[in-house]
Amino acid sequence: MPARVPKPRILIGKPGLDGHDRGAKYVAHVLRDAGYEVVYTGIRRSPEQIVDAAVQEDVAAIGLSLLSGAHNVLFKRIIDLLKERGAGDVLVFGGGTIPPDDLPGLEKLGVAAVFTPGTSAKTIIETIDRLLAGRAKP
Amino acid sequence: MTRSIAQLVEAVVAARDDIAAIRSAAQLISIVEDAPERLPELIQAISRLAEASRPRHARLLLGVTGAPGSGKSTLVDAMVAECRTRFPERRVGVVAVDPSSPFTGGAVLGDRVRMMRHATDPKVFVRSMASRGHLGGLTLGVRGAIHVLGLLGCDVVFIETVGVGQSEVEIAGVADLVLLVLAPGQGDSVQLLKAGLMEIGDVFVVNKADKPEAAKVHAEVLAALELDKQVHAGEVDPLSAESGDGSQAGDALAFERGRCGRVEPRACLVSAQDKKGVVELVDAVEEIAAGVAGPSHEESGLAGRARDGFGRPAGRTSSGHRTVQAVACASG
Ligand SMILES: Nc1nc2c(ncn2[C@@H]2O[C@H](COP(=O)(O)OP(=O)(O)O)[C@@H](O)[C@H]2O)c(=O)[nH]1
Ligand SMILES: [Mg+2]
């Protein structure tokens, strides 16, 4: 493998109570195939677990997979916790069954992107590449 | 606002709380992970710190290796829990390496999934790392991470290797003790032992004791260790050794290698998942560690080596005198 400037690291987490991890695993693999190092944290994680792991892993972004319907609360909690930990610069994006009506509110919260079901791998990669451009480490 | 290595080292030490220390330590690890050539700068910054009120390096570096799926991450999770119970005031670190894709350079790092219950414990720091094309089971960033975790005040640091197999001897050059994890249904574990992993293990952990075939694997491991002992005893020319049994010659060689010459390999049956045998395993590790650590701890003993990196030759083929000890652990 040629030496290269590594792409920023991304943590994928799945807060909430449902046990479906297909979406989270799919995004993890899409990002891996695009050259990202993805820290996968599994299902049913609390916002605290996700944020504390993200801080230890020093990731540039957190991707949340959400199916449970509690997305507004969970996104807010995670973004608040990141700020509390002095890690407000960590980008937060998400995916899952999120009603279009909620998207403006999430954007206002600071959620950088939301991938609804059916989003192509290409779109995911292009979006993450664009959002993280310039965050490549020196 | 990117901070320099020296600033981050100061920040770890001067942090007002765990959260701030952890964040600075995490950033420091990233710097030396992305630029391993800056390791000397890190080491220098740490050594420049004002008279240390506490040690700036871990007391014990524990390597955990073994085939994928043998249960390394689950075992580390269980051992971390046991360490935290045993020494509630002490910090524990984990560095877990998973492979990078040779095609894209990307990686899915999944070891942490098994350890997430510790995520919110401010005294446990877990860091996942991708191998980034480095062969040998570790990655260049591991050395830096070990230094940073020592700086952060970790008492014990676990290092989980990639676990792809027989070439993973590098861990023996980094860790004070190596736990080799074996499990039933992992192919022929004894084949693995024969193929060169035998020499790097200090404790052979037969995991998944809840499965009926585990006892058989345990017996095979004990037999393999016994055979290894006999073979190496036979290798020593009795005429060149001072005593007839060759044990002193073995001792001398083991001493020269600077590691664990005094350690007798043990075989331990555990169920990481059911938390059976883990207390006994940590007992065994602590007992061995107490024996290996000496007054020369700083320079040559536990954790001292890690400061010099991957330099020590792996393997310990000379310890022909060692005896096999079975640790009484859980049965199925
Ligand atoms: N039956 C049983 N399964 C276990 C045990 N320890 C781990 N496992 C399972 O083995 C699989 C691999 O575990 P993991 O810790 O990820 O292994 P690693 O690849 O060596 O790190 C997982 O499905 C674990 O749940 C055990 O003691 N008993
Ligand atoms: Mg693992």
Q: How far is the CA of B73 from the centre of ligand 2 (A)?
A: 4
| Contact status of B27 with chain A (Cβ, < 8 Å) | yes
Domains, chain A, ordered by start: 9-132 (3.40.50.280)
Q: Please state, in angstroms and rounded to a whole number, the distance separating the CA atoms of residues B159 and B125.
A: 12
Q: Please state, in angstroms and rounded to a whole number, the distance separating the CA atoms of residues A39 and A116.
A: 21
Decide if B101 is inside a domain.
yes
Decide if B33 is inside a domain.
no
* pLDDT exceeds 80 at position B238: no
Atom of ligand 1 nearest to the CA of B207: 27
Query: Mind listing the pLDDT tens digit for each residue in B104-113?
Result: 999 999 999 9
Number of domains chain B contains: 1
Residue A24: partners with Cβ closer than 8 Å, 6 or more residues away: A12, A13, A14, A40, A43, A63, A65
Decide if B265 is inside a domain.
yes
Atom of ligand 1 nearest to the CA of B274: 27
Q: How far is the CA of B232 from the centre of ligand 1 (A)?
A: 33
Q: What is the pLDDT of residue A55?
A: 98
Strands (E), A1-138: 9-13, 37-40, 61-66, 91-96, 111-115
Q: What is the pLDDT of residue B163?
A: 83
Query: Mind listing the pLDDT tens digit for each residue in B120-170?
Result: 999 999 999 999 988 888 888 999 999 999 999 999 999 999 887 666 778
Cα nearest neighbour of B107 on chain A: A37
Decide if B85 is inside a domain.
yes
Question: How large is the average pLDDT for residues A1-24?
Answer: 80
pLDDT band (50, 70, 90) for residue B264: confident
Decide if B119 is inside a domain.
yes
Half-sphere exposure of B200 (CA within 13 A, CB side): 32
Decide if B95 is inside a domain.
yes
Question: How large is the average pLDDT for residues B194-200?
Answer: 70
Residues B114, B96 contacting (CB under 8 angstroms):
no
Q: What is the CATH number of the domain that holds B177?
A: 3.40.50.300
pLDDT band (50, 70, 90) for residue B213: very high
* H or E, element range at B269: strand B266-269
Atom of ligand 1 nearest to the CA of B76: 15
Half-sphere exposure of B110 (CA within 13 A, CB side): 16
Q: Is B70 in the pocket of ligand 1 (CB under 6 A)?
A: yes
- Average pLDDT value for chain A: 90
Per mean pLDDT, which of A58-72, B111-125, B250-264, B305-319 is the most reliable? B111-125
* pLDDT exceeds 70 at position B308: no
Please state whether the predicted TM-score (pTM) of the whole model is above 0.95. no
Q: A137 and B34: CB-CB below 8 Å?
A: yes
As a whole-number percent, the residues of chain A with pLDDT over 90 amount to 74
Q: What is the pLDDT of residue A108?
A: 95
Q: What is the pLDDT of residue B262?
A: 45
- Chain B residues inside the 8 Å CB shell of A28: 108
Q: A58 and B30: CB-CB below 8 Å?
A: yes
Decide if B252 is inside a domain.
yes
pLDDT band (50, 70, 90) for residue B187: low
Could you please report the per-residue DSSP string of A85-123?
A: TT-TTSEEEEEES--GGGHHHHHHHTEEEEE-TT--HHH
Q: B133 and A1: CB-CB below 8 Å?
A: yes
Buried b (16+ CB within 10 A) or exposed e, B221-242: bbebbeebbeebbeebeeeebe
- Average pLDDT value for chain B: 79
Taking residue A19's Cβ as centre, other Cβ atoms within 10 Å add up to 9
| Contact status of B128 with chain A (Cβ, < 8 Å) | yes
Q: Please state, in angstroms and rounded to a whole number, the distance separating the CA atoms of residues B217 and B229.
A: 18
Residues A57, B127 contacting (CB under 8 angstroms):
yes
Decide if B8 is inside a domain.
no
**Nearest Cβ partner for A49 among B100, B120, B133:** B120
DSSP assigned state of A63: E
Q: Which two tokens stand for residue B302?
A: 């536990």
- Chain A residues inside the 8 Å CB shell of B119: 41, 45, 48-50, 52-53, 56
The dihedral over CA atoms of B193, B195, B199, B203, expressed in degrees to the nearest 10, equals: -20
Domain hosting residue B123, numbered range: 56-327
Residues B150, B55 contacting (CB under 8 angstroms):
yes
* pLDDT exceeds 50 at position A121: yes
**Chain A contact residues (CB < 8 Å to B):** 1, 3-7, 9, 28-29, 31-42, 45-46, 48-50, 52-53, 55-58, 85-87, 137-138
Cα nearest neighbour of B132 on chain A: A1
CA-CA distances (angstroms) from residue B166 to A31, A57, B65, B100?
A: 29, 28, 10, 18
Taking alpha carbons only, the member of B295, B311, B14, B292 closest to residue B151 is B14
As a whole-number percent, the residues of chain A with pLDDT over 70 amount to 92
CA angle B109, A52, A38 (to 5 degrees): 20
